[in-house]
Amino acid sequence: MSALLDVKNVRVKYGNIEALKGISFTVQSGEIISLIGANGAGKSTTLRTISGLLTPVSGEVVWQGKPIHHMKPHDIVKLGLLQSPEGRGIFANLSVLENLEMGAYTRKDSKEAITKDLENVYLLFPRIKERLRQQAGTLSGGEQQMLAISRALMGRPKLLLLDEPSLGLAPQIVETIFSIIKKINSEGTTILLVEQNAFQALKISHRGYVVETGEIVLSGKGSDLLVDPKVREAYLGG
Amino acid sequence: MEAFLQHIINGVSLGSIYALIALGYTMVYGILQLINFAHSDVYMIGAFIGFYSARWLNVSDAPGYGSFFSVLFIAMIGCSILGFTIERLAYRPLRKAPKLNALITAIGVSLFLEYSGQIVFGATPQVFPNILEDSIVATFGEVRVTKFDATILITTFALMLILRHIIQHTKLGKAMRATSFNGPWASLMGINVDRIISMTFVIGSALAAAGGILVGIKYPKIEPLMGVMIGLKAFVAAVLGGIGNIAGAVLGALIMGLAEEFVVGYGASTYRDALAFGILIIILLFKPAGLLGKFTVEKV
């Protein structure tokens, strides 16, 4: 079976600095895949490249058999790849509802379908519903993360790209967010997750890749990586 | 007291023209962090499009709202096209270049329009056609509201309501606000940022054209350098209110218009232009981001 997303030997540079030194991995339909690694390893750069914010100097990003690495970000969104970016990417000057509407920006289907998806989002995150009219910048960190994920869901993603959803959140909220990510996946959305919180990420992932200084150094099933001695030592505190 | 009220009416009328132009500066700055120096020349071109379209429509000597609105409409469309073209040809190729490059280009575009204007329209001032006749529409004691002032006020007010509706309630406006908050994030929503930037120039230029026509009817001498001083003042108004902030631009412009009118009205007209910059210095000393601004203005 051909992969939903196939990242082939991608190299990305910021000026003279090589941030990705030939990264390859695949995402199959229905999976949760996590990229784990330390700060600065190149995880966010990978997501930014997949979404078209960065262009690789060599290598390919292939989506359902078609190369997309020269496409503009807004066209990639139309293919069904939606990202909740690093730092959540909330439009603080827009209301919560307007943020959700931006997630559905490219959709051409009926208003009813969008309203129905809004209802689904409220089911996942009841707190979002209470804050619809509020400026998004006034939300707490956890609520902003919920909004960022909800907003990406409003675009009906085939692949949901999540960049550090646990960053800066209290432990209980991290638990909630991860259980919801799992739920979203069980309802049929494929997920590519980037995390420093290796334990939480691997626990819900089908497969994982360990990224170090722009390269993939290890890969395997989520459950295998969780017990891998090298992973335990480097990312799970021994 | 009557003189005071009269000055308020005149000041608000002048301020609302500044506001039309200031909005273009502030919207473009909000989205691109670019001070579009050519904006004041788009305003000038707007006045000249009015001048020529009045001739072409043969309404130069047929004053009335029919003539006024047709000329206004043509000028707004014309300047929208001009604004779109300027962005496309001059600024878009520099999207990834350092900000200073775009800023210098803006000065270049401004000079280009001013001196092309002198070649095409001639350097001597021309009299703006008589597309609306002035009269007194209301008097309160000694205070008079002229048809020109009423037209200026109602037209700018209507345009601002339309702008407000676009920005607050339409998909385009929401995308504009999202893009001005963070362009790359907006593109991750599927927003075509280049298109939003084009639309910002189109809207800002149309408002500037309206300013050109309104100035044309009230101060009917137009010439290719007419944008320089009023553009500078509108820019000061935008900075005063907090550049990038739309309500701030309107507030700043009204303050500028009123202050200028009072200085002239109470006999210190020599200082009318110095005043603008005086106010700017004082406000920026106390509120560096402008009255309603939240973010620190980037130094250029």
Residues B239-265 pLDDT 10s: 999 988 899 999 999 999 999 998 888
Q: Name the residue in chain B with its Cα closest to that of A100.
A: B189
Q: Which two tokens stand for residue B224?
A: 């290719």
Q: Is the pLDDT assigned to residue B298 strictly greater than 80?
A: no
Report residue B26 as tokens: 């502030």
pLDDT-derived band at A238, boundaries 50, 70, 90? low
User: Which of the four pLDDT bands, split at 50, 70 and 90, describes residue A148?
Assistant: very high
Pair A199, A50: CB distance under 8 Å = no
Q: Does the pLDDT value for residue B123 go beyond 90? A: yes
Enumerate the residues of chain A whose CB falls inside 8 A of the CB of residue B180: 93
Q: Which two tokens stand for residue B133?
A: 């006749």
Distance from CA of B26 to the nearest CA of A (A): 16
**Which pLDDT does position A207 carry in this prediction?**
97
Angle between helices B171-181 and A96-103 (to 10 degrees): 100
Which of A96, A105, A151, A161 to mutate against chain B (most B CBs within 10 Å)? A105
How far off is chain A from B12, nearest CA to CA, in Å?
Answer: 29
**A94 with B177: Cβ contact below 8 A:** yes
When pLDDT is averaged across residues A138-152 and rounded to a whole number, the result is 95
pLDDT on residue B63: 87
- The share of chain A scoring above pLDDT 90, in percent, equals 90
Contacts with B185 from chain A: Cβ below 8 Å: 85, 89, 91
Are the C-beta atoms of A47 and A124 separated by less than 8 Å?
A: no
Q: What average pLDDT score do residues B283-298 get? A: 75
Q: What is the reported pLDDT for A1?
A: 56
Q: Output Rg (C-alpha) for chain B, integer angstroms.
A: 19
d(CA B252, CA B234): 9
Whether B31 has its CB under 8 Å from any CB of chain A: the answer is no
Split at pLDDT 50, 70, 90, the class of B300 is very low
B233-B235-B238 Cα angle (round to 5)? 115
User: Parallel, antiparallel, or unpaired: how do β-strands A58-63 and A5-14 relate?
Assistant: antiparallel
Is the complex ipTM higher than 0.85? Answer: yes
Residue B297 scores a pLDDT above 70: no
pLDDT at A70: 95
The overall average pLDDT reported for chain B is: 92
pLDDT band at A235 (very low <50, low <70, confident <90, very high): confident
Under an 8 A CB cutoff, do A102 and B189 touch?
Answer: yes
pLDDT at B211: 97
Collect all residues of chain B within an 8 Å Cβ-Cβ radius of residue A74: 187, 189-193
pLDDT of residue B61: 77
- Decide if B185 and A101 are in contact by the 8 Å CB cutoff: no
Domain with CATH 3.40.50.300 in chain A: 1-80+161-170+190-238
Contact B189 A77 (CB under 8 A): yes
DSSP secondary structure letter of residue B298 = P
- Band of residue B299 on the pLDDT scale cut at 50, 70, 90: very low
Q: CA-to-CA distance for A27 and B246, rounded, in angstroms? A: 44
Nearest C-alpha neighbor of A143 from the set A131, A156, A160: A131
Q: pLDDT category, B137, cuts 50, 70, 90?
A: confident
What average pLDDT score do residues B133-157 get? 90
CATH C-level class of A1-80+161-170+190-238? alpha beta
Residue A118 has pLDDT above 50, yes or no: yes
- Closest C-alpha among B197, B158, B146, B145 to residue B175: B197
Task: Say if the Cβ atoms of B189 and A53 lie within 8 Å.
Answer: no
Predicted confidence at residue B295, as pLDDT, reads: 53
**Percentage of chain B modeled with pLDDT above 70:** 98
User: What residue in A sits closest to B195 (Cα-Cα)?
Assistant: A74
Tell me the average pLDDT across B217-243.
Answer: 93
Sign of CA dihedral B64, B65, B69, B70: negative
What pLDDT, in 10s, does the model give residues A61-111? 999 999 999 999 999 999 999 999 988 999 999 999 999 999 999 999 889
Q: How many CB pairs below 8 A link A and B?
A: 64
